[in-house]
Structure 1
Amino acid sequence: MRQLNPYLNFPGTCEAAFNFYKAAFRTEFSYFSRMGDTDAIEVPEEDKNLVMHVSISFGDNHLMGSDVPESMRKDFVAGSSNYVCVSTESREEADRLFSELSAGGKVEMPMSDMFWGDYYGSFRDKFGTYWMITYSKEQ
């Protein structure tokens, strides 16, 4: 497998979520478009400002997302059954990302040394996305 790129969907909060992620990861959007930016499909007026596609990049890795239009949200649950796992280069980076991304969310497991040898923590952020932050001394 060459890449694994998590793709997150949101109920109208994608832009706020990705601005939050962009700040925490200290990066910029590599792509950003709104549903109203295309003529390829007919978009209801109330959905034109929703995010059609956004991406932030880290080397060859990408975190991508979009909003789910109102008409498609019947069975949608933000953040359901998905985690984004971030492997860091240092304990300090792990602590910083955990602190910034978990702000306003719900911590499941605080950062701590785990029995398998990693420094690890997990949480649900304020947008409903689940995260695992890990640092392994043996990289």
Structure 2
Amino acid sequence: MSVVTTLNFGGRTEEAVEHYRAVLDAEVLMLMRFRECPDSSFLKPGFEDKVFHATIRIGSTELMASDVGCDDPESETSFAGFAFAVRAESIENAERHFAGLSERGEVLVPLAETFFATRYGIVKDRFGVSWKITVPGDAE
């Protein structure tokens, strides 16, 4: 058995996928729009170009994303009770990821050296998803 996280971006999945591709080097493994879905019962007016299903890979982790279940193609999303933890390979990568995720987001804990890591910070991105960026203590 395996468990894969699926995020519902309430009509903003394509924007989220492209943002994560740009700032976290996410690889888009699959993206299907509602208009491409073989079962037309899922299609609602105004959703033709929204994302029915997407799978992305960040490092070795796969995430799924969708606009399924959203009643309004322009609605806001909210995510609470979890955060993704990213272990960056270098300070440079951590700073780049943190800066990209912070764009139009909210810095909760500034990226800085701590007693347990070379760098650590928490940011809530523009979609409301929280990310903990860490560079292990032995990284340069």
Taking structure 2 as the reference length, what is the TM-score of the superposition? 0.81
Kindly state the Cα deviation for residue 78 of structure 1 after the two structures are TM-superposed.
Answer: 2.1
Contact 2:29 2:55 in 1 (8 A): yes
Matched position secondary structure for 1:101: helix
Q: Partner residue of 2:125?
A: 125
Asked if the contact 2:117–2:136 (Cα under 8 Å) also holds between the matched residues in 1, the reply is yes
Q: Name the SS for the 1:71 alignment partner.
A: coil
- Secondary structure of 1:80 counterpart: coil
Matches of 1:21 and 1:109 in 2, distance apart?
20
CA root-mean-square deviation? 2.6
Query: Using a 3 Å threshold, how does the CA distance of structure 1 residues 4 and 133 change in structure 2: closer, same or farther?
Result: farther
Unmatched 5+ residue regions in structure 1?
A: none
Q: Say yes or no: does 1:92 pair with 2:92.
A: yes
Aligned residue runs from structure 1 range 1-20, under 5 A: 5-20=4-19
Aligned counterpart, 1:83: 83
Most deviating of 55-64 and 11-20: 55-64
The equivalences for 1:63-82 within 5 A come to: 63-71=63-71, 77-82=77-82
Runs of 4+ in 1 over 4 A off after TM superposition: none
Q: Which residue of 1 aligns with 2:33?
A: 34
Residue-by-residue CA offset, 1:78-137 (whole Å, 9 max, x unaligned): 222221111111111111110111111110001112233352100111111111101103
Q: Distance in 1 between matches of 2:3 and 2:86?
A: 12
Q: In structure 2, give the amino acid aligned to 1:15.
A: E
Counterpart of 2:136? 136
Contact 1:4-1:61 within 8 A present in 2 as well: no
Alignment correspondent of 1:46: 46
**Greater displacement, 109-118 / 76-85:** 76-85
The yes-or-no answer on 1:108 pairing with 2:108 is: yes
The number of equivalent residue pairs is: 136
Amino acid at match of 2:107: V
Q: Is the 8 A contact 1:14 1:51 kept in 2?
A: yes
Q: What is the deviation of 1:64? A: 2.1
Residue of structure 2 in register with 1:55 after alignment: 55
Alpha-carbon separation, structure 2, partners of 1:58 and 1:12: 21
